[in-house]
Amino acid sequence: YAGGTGEGELNYVTLVTSGDDGKTWSGPKLVIDPPGPVRAYDPAIWHDPSGRMWVFWAQSYRWWDGRSGVWAITTDESDKENPKWSEPRRLCNGIMMNKPTVLANGDWLLPVAIWKQKAKDSIEHRFDLPEECGGNIFISKDKGKSFQLLGQTDVPHRTFDEHMVVERKDNSLWTLVRTSYGIGESISSDGGKTWSAGKESSIPHINARFFIRRLNSGNLLLVRHNPQDKKTRRDLTAYLSTDDGKTWQGGLLLDERPGVSYPDGVQSDDGTIYIIY
């Protein structure tokens, strides 16, 4: 997303496409720019198990209104140059910066956060939702027709949450959360209804977004910063785990430059892994 000189009401979301595996890119295919002093930001693109493509984004009055909201459009024609899109719909309160997780039973989990920051009193539309503040987990049991709040993680010293959910091989759910010290964690053994007290994970990191996802092989892929000074957003590095995150191997340096951040990724059917940041 872009617009304006920083994070604020001039932000909008735009979508560009590539038909040659990323060698070249189109001009804007669509622009999401709500009317009024409303920002559109933090988009996430995801293909569900049926092949339908979802574009999620957040909307908020000005920089932050205390509530925001997750919106989505879908298309069944993501392979076409000019696909037909559904009407936009609002799914829930909050911000969902990361893709959903599909469980073994077919349910979808959405990692949706409401930040702990208070909206400024000067904002004309402001909300105070302390009961919803945290790393929320929404569930869909009907392939995206409806979504309900399932549970909530509460990890101390969280910063913007940016949480991601992994279903482990013992059927427990493992949520990792961005914190002021790096990465915190919380675990659910009842399908996401209740969560353990949040605590620091064993994964070293800085206060920045990371990326974790299960690969087609069953291994976990983690992309995080690995700077020598333990504080600078640089040295994006990829790691693999074959034991559900107990240990990590590798350390493939993807980009050493200062300022690289906010990794995301996807694996294609042929096994190719794409990382964007």
- 248 within a domain of the structure (yes/no): yes
Residue 120, pLDDT score: 87
Amino acid at 14: T
Neighbouring residues of 63: CB distance < 8 A, sequence distance ≥ 6: 7, 8, 9, 39
Predicted TM-score (pTM) of this structure: 0.96
Q: What band does 148 get if pLDDT is binned at 50, 70 and 90?
A: very high
Q: Are 113 and 95 in contact (CB under 8 A)?
A: yes
CA dihedral sign of residues 194, 185, 243, 139: positive
The pLDDT tens digits for 36-54 are 999 999 999 999 999 999 9
- Whether residue 257 lies inside any domain: the answer is yes
Is 156 a member of any domain? Answer: no
Q: Which domain holds residue 277?
A: 204-277
> How many degrees, rounded to 5, is the angle at CA 82 between CA 78 and CA 85?
65
Sign of CA dihedral 245, 165, 194, 186: positive
What total number of domains does the chain contain? Answer: 1
- Residue 130 falls inside a structural domain: no
- Give the integer Cα–Cα distance in Å for 211 and 165: 10
Residue 14 domain-assigned? no
The answer to whether residue 196 sits within a structural domain is no
Residue 237 lies in a domain: yes
Q: Which residue, 240, 248, 163, is CA-closest to 204?
A: 248
- Torsion-angle region of residue 244: left (phi > 0), alpha (psi -120 to 50) or beta? left
User: Can you tell me which residue has the tokens 């949520």?
Assistant: 175
Tens digits of residue pLDDT in 119-147: 988 888 999 999 999 999 999 999 999 99
Long-range interactions of 116-119: CB distance < 8 A, separation 24+: 116/158, 117/64, 118/66, 119/64, 119/65, 119/66, 119/67
Whether pLDDT at 55 is above 90: yes
- Residue 218: inside a domain, yes or no? yes
pLDDT given for residue 143 in this prediction:
98
The closest alpha carbon to 260, from 276, 239, 249, 238, belongs to: 276
d(CA 174, CA 189): 9
Mean pLDDT within 236-265: 98
